[in-house]
Amino acid sequence: MPARPPINMANASTLLAVAVLVGTEFIGASWAAGWALAGFYGFPPLLAHITEAAFSLIGVVLLVYFMRVALRSEPLRG
């Protein structure tokens, strides 16, 4: 089995910074959208929290897809 190249720390720190920045944006914006829609439609508190959680989950999924693309353009090794 060939030896794996070492982790490129410049790429790793870039990817970590992008994950924090973009993750905050995606999850924060999607949570806020769930909160706004629940307030606009006058959902009861439990349904409002469920809506916020569902939209936050959408934000997490978007972040996962974004990071998969980012890892293709900035590989950790090599």
Phi-psi region of 45 (alpha: psi -120 to 50; beta: other; left: phi over 0): alpha
pLDDT, tens digit, 9 for 90 and up, residues 41-64: 999 999 999 999 999 999 999 999
* Stated pTM of the model: 0.85
3-state helix, strand, coil split of the chain in percent (to 5) is 80, 5, 20
User: What pLDDT is recorded for position 1?
Assistant: 75
pLDDT, tens digit, 9 for 90 and up, residues 11-26: 999 999 999 999 999 9
In a domain, 35, yes or no: yes
Query: What are the residues whose beta carbons fall under 8 Å from the beta carbon of 32, sequence distance 6 or more?
Result: none
For residues 34 and 51, is the Cβ–Cβ distance under 8 A? Answer: yes
In a domain, 59, yes or no: yes
Q: Which domain holds residue 39?
A: 19-73
In a domain, 1, yes or no: no
Rounded to whole angstroms, the Cα distance separating 68 from 3 reads 24
For residues 70 and 15, is the Cβ–Cβ distance under 8 A? Answer: yes
